């Protein structure tokens, strides 16, 4: 989902991302057929959102503006059978000031710690610069600078065969030739850094939407890779405009229908695809639509390599698509549906091992696994009064310490304009950040026309209450999400 501060400029016909949004309480309905089926997928998992939150406040403060995923929660989903986890982050936090610069040591260490935890478990980790083809809010036009950024980043992860590089999240409103050139620059830089065994996920223009892929991104078939490991990452939501901003789905068959043209494109061009973001609301139509989409992908696994749900993460609270264990609104309803499509034989391995997840058989042998010794721990600091919200459409100051099992108290701070994810967060495609341990409201999100503490109080398409209860104030987290935080 999108978590940027960029206001949606593309027409509804090209939107393909989801934003955080307040959730109506909908009774859970389990699909009747929950039998796990054999499928040809290589990966199946979820985006672990958080480190990309607060894009309006750079570099921002850890646990106030953004948060790293909790490894304990990742482990629950790993134990359930997921074998890939996408980790969104911001380019500006990782390599500040200029794309040709050097990494921020603290933020990089936290990113490496999170990635190492995932790959040590035997799962794959997707490095996702959640920037929409932009840096510091400006469209990236220099392919040489973008190449420098990717060479710097890829060098840090070149030895880990279970890392997957995602060139950038949801390019949109860019010149189409520029999208081609940026993707090719990233591919070339990653290989030049010595990362020759890993897959590279390339994304397209128009929010990388699968339903509009053939209308916008046909030229990306010209991308080349010396290692022949390009995978085309597309995103697909099931509401009316494919933006992922509504809990309703067009129909119970819309998932399959929206992938048909992209499937034909992949087959005709002998390419491989992956759905990097998808989700549906907790209701019968959406559950059937999600199940039908995944079944269709499984039937066409000659070109579809798998999918990742949007999203899990510590600050999502009651966001309608949250798959965060165990109280995310989508968790109990959708996990049994998704489990049918998990990759057989890739269950969690001991944390010290990195060999339990089977490597794809259709590609060249992978390089040796990383030998880095960075430790991964959960950060469990006291929740601040703000919660980050994703800003992807279709949404001291530079600290980014790795997750820690021990408690790291953080004094509550109430930013006035930072992007934060409330405990009732709405999903924003791959750029939202929910704080670890952010308090999750247990009462109704609103009383009359007043929103409760940590609940949504505004944003594009928001039709709920805009006033907050006493002691709290409505703060803009991104154009699509305003949240009631402590005054």
State the catalytic residues: 170, 277
3-state secondary structure of 241: coil
Structure tokens at 80: 């359930």
C-beta atoms surrounding 439 within 10 Å? 15
Count H helices and E strands in the chain, helices first: 9, 16
DSSP 66: B
Give residue 363's Cα distance to chain centre.
25
CB 188 within 8 A of CB 152: no
Taking each helix axis from N to C end, the angle separating 284-299 and 254-268, rounded to the nearest 10 degrees, works out to 20
Q: How far apart are CA 227 and CA 229, in angstroms?
A: 6
CB 261 within 8 A of CB 213: yes
3-state secondary structure of 273: strand
CB 416 within 8 A of CB 475: yes
DSSP 439: P
335 backbone dihedrals φ, ψ, rounded to 5°: -60, -45
Extended beta strands in 130-258, E state: 134-135, 138-139, 163-166, 200-203, 230-237
Spatial CA neighbour of 18 closest among 157, 162, 170: 170
């Amino acid at each position: 989902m999108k978590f940027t501060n960029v206001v949606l400029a593309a027409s509804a016909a090209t939107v393909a991302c989801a934003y955080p949004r307040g959730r109506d309480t909908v009774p859970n309905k389990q699909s009747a057929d929950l039998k796990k089926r054999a499928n040809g997928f290589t990966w199946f998992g979820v985006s672990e959102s958080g480190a990309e939150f607060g894009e309006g406040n750079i570099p921002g403060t850890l646990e106030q503006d953004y948060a790293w995923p909790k490894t304990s929660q990742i482990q629950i989903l790993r134990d359930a059978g997921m074998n890939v986890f996408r980790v969104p982050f911001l380019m500006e936090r990782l390599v500040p000031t200029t794309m040709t610069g050097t990494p921020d040591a603290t933020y990089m260490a936290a990113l490496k710690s999170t990635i190492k935890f995932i790959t040590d478990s035997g799962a794959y980790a997707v490095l996702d610069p959640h920037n929409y083809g932009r840096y510091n809010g400006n469209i990236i036009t220099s392919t040489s600078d973008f190449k420098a950024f990717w060479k710097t980043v890829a060098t840090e992860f070149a030895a880990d065969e279970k890392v997957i590089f995602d060139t950038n999240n949801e390019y949109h409103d860019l010149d189409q030739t520029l999208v081609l050139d940026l993707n090719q620059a990233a591919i070339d830089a990653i290989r030049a850094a010595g990362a020759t065994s890993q897959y590279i996920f390339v994304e397209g223009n128009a929010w990388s939407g699968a339903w509009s892929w053939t209308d916008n991104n046909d030229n990306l078939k010209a991308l080349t890779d010396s290692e022949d490991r390009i995978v085309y990452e597309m995103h697909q939501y099931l509401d009316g405009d494919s933006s992922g901003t509504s809990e309703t789905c067009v129909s119970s068959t819309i998932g399959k229908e929206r992938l048909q043209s992209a499937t034909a494109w992949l087959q005709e061009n002998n390419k491989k695809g992956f759905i990097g973001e998808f989700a549906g609301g907790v209701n019968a139509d959406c559950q059937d639509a999600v199940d039908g989409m995944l079944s269709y992908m499984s039937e066409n696994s000659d070109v579809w390599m798998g999918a990742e749900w949007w999203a899990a993460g510590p600050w999502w609270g009651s966001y309608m698509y949250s798959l965060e264990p165990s109280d995310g609104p989508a968790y109990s309803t959708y996990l049994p549906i998704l489990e049918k499509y998990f990759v057989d034989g890739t269950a969690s391995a001991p944390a010290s091992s990195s060999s339990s997840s089977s490597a794809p058989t259709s590609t060249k042998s992978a390089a040796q696994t990383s030998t880095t010794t960075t430790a991964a721990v959960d950060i469990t600091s006291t929740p601040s009064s703000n919660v980050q919200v994703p800003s992807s459409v279709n949404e001291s100051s530079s600290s980014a310490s790795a997750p820690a099992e021990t408690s790291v108290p953080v004094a509550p701070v109430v930013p006035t304009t930072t992007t934060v994810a409330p405990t009732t967060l709405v999903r924003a495609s791959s750029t939202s950040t929910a704080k670890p341990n952010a308090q999750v409201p247990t009462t109704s999100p609103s009383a009359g026309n007043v929103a409760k503490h940590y609940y949504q109080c505004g944003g594009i398409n928001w039709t709920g209450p805009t006033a907050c209860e006493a002691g709290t104030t409505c703060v803009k987290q991104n154009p699509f999400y305003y949240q009631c935080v402590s005054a």
